[in-house]
Chains A and B, each alone.
Chain A
């Protein structure tokens, strides 16, 4: 993902010519920080702080890779005047896409399931996206289309002059982004010592890309997917039973799937903030729970956990799951 020559991103002084130059890669990785709270002795767990991406989540990587791919294929840009993007998104991809596409001059329409927190929906609007909110949860049908995906696809099919759908659920650049950036970063940051990687599944792009790159370096590295229990309420994540929507998911690239009762995503995220000053969002809480579950079975030599985004846009969800937060004094 080299977008600019070295002289335009002074990594020593952290001076960048553009936000695009801040996007992470092996020379400019997102930080790894050790987490100690609740980790048994004999295991080392590092959190990869993806909220340090310029737009605040791991999705910057896929969003930019997909946009660049569309530009390079001539699907967006001067040859397609007026054309923008439409994407089904739980929020983060939409936010990254909206900001990056707007920056490039493309209109954005985001199709968002109703269960996505209000904060995230407002952020999409702030970033300039037009919003469609779908009600997917009316009665989940195992294996069938996701309403948001169907609706986004409908816009792209019915109005191809106005919209192209990057489609994070099928776009190989989603996986490649992690094969080209996140994977090499982890390999380099750990000096090749990484033994386990913990990631959640949404589109499965992160886990697939990491697995492809890291197992090519060392086939013994274990790629562990952490999933919320069925019927979960963790935005952005999927239980494997819901992964039919992703064309990227290849179970052969995952060594183990750990299922965690989804409520613990919230309790753990709160504890990470209080004990480690890590502003981890619920999906990061879930991933940490998964790593702890594995650490209870076997020592983790050097585990890396992908902390997708931070808690700041989940205050309403946190309040719903953590009654002890109370009403914080009621509306201001």
Chain B
């Protein structure tokens, strides 16, 4: 969406501070490029993008090296992340504005990660890197920022933002049982879980959802089995954005996720993908742009679930 002057399009959904919501506009950012309380951070799918040029003052973080545990397929340990952020000149009181390539794909993952560690004020730049690049009047540089180191006091992981397999598996088993009952009854009654039941949103590509492929070609982290978690709704993450990388309007998103696809606005939701990055993007949409109160990212995602012995899996 093209956000109005102050980036307040999301005001009232979640008002973190200062009147602007978590999704901010280019104009909101340009007015704050020299604001010492703001730290701008770029996270790209391809880290070469940052090196080739970035918004002045932007700190570059590498999603693979900086924002993952090096060996455990997990988020970074708190001490490690705190040290990194502090060294780059970020403390926990800064307003951190994230942006990146591919419609903020990995920037949204960084957003989730910072919220997971309870960073108070995190924003996402609508349109991300490509929209900024598209406007020749906006400044762009290869100069690296040099902020004095800070001490980052990191919080404990906020488990209300993260789903684990222990939470997902019972949902899958129940959905699978409902589907079985439906088959025996020969009716479509009971197709959906009852009111208040958690929506599982699979944000991978249709071919991954249907089980035609296990993962996009050429990727290392993968599962042994193909398909999706029983009961999951397929809404590829890219459906939330316009071709220019900006988010669709709240009305469009509401229609897509809630009215058309059946995500429950008044119930918990869990988003998953292959390794938890694409689902961070959808997590952001559900939590902040649609205002669902209880949204978790299942970052174990298909790479974990699709390797579980005996787990129910649906195809097609």
Contact = CB atoms under 8 A, between A and B. Distances in A.
B238 interface: yes
A144 B130 contact: yes
A145 B141 CA distance: 20
A151 B278 CA distance: 21
B49 A154 contact: yes
B205 A154 contact: no
Contacts of A153: 133
A138 B52 contact: no
Contacts of A141: 102-103, 105, 238, 241
B46 interface: yes
Nearest to A155: B52
A145 B130 CA distance: 7
Contacts of A277: none
Contacts of A217: none
A134 B243 contact: no
Given A143-B238, A151-B52, A155-B52, 5 more contacts: A132-B52, A141-B105, A142-B238, A143-B242, A157-B136
Interface in A132-173: 132, 134-145, 147, 150-151, 153-155, 157-159
Interface stretch (B118-126, B172-180, B215-223, B303-311): B215-223
Given A144-B245, A157-B53, A158-B140, A135 B238 contact: no
A139 B278 contact: yes
Interface residues on A, range: 20 to 34
B251 to A, nearest CB: 20
Nearest to A137: B218
A147 B142 CA distance: 18
A244 interface: yes
A244 B103 CA distance: 14
B92 interface: no
B181 interface: no
A145 B102 contact: yes
Contacts of B13: none
B133 A157 contact: yes
Q: Which of B141, B241, B243 has the most CB of A within 10 A?
A: B243
Interface string B84-107: 000000000000000001110100
Contacts of A147: 45-46, 49, 101-102
Q: Which of B49, B52, B136, B216 has the most CB of A within 10 A?
A: B52
Contact of B48 (A138, A143, A151): A151
Contacts of A135: 45-46
A74 B102 CA distance: 33
B39 interface: no
Interface of B: 45-46, 48-49, 52-54, 101-103, 105, 129-130, 133, 136, 140-142, 205, 216-219, 236, 238, 241-243, 245, 278
A137 B216 contact: yes
A136 B130 CA distance: 14
Contacts of A155: 52-53
A132 B142 contact: no
B103 A151 contact: no
Q: Which of A145, A147, A158, A244 has the most CB of B within 10 A?
A: A145
Contacts of B48: 132, 134, 151
B133 A150 contact: yes
A121 to B, nearest CB: 15
B280 to A, nearest CB: 13
A136 B102 CA distance: 10
A37 B241 CA distance: 46
5 contacts: A134-B46, A137-B217, A139-B205, A141-B103, A159-B53
A136 B216 CA distance: 12
A45 B91 CA distance: 68
A150 B54 CA distance: 11
Given A139-B205, A147-B102, A244-B243, A154 B133 contact: yes
B76 to A, nearest CB: 21
Q: 4 nearest interchain CB pairs?
A: A158-B53, A143-B243, A154-B52, A154-B53
A154 B245 contact: no
B245 to A, nearest CB: 6
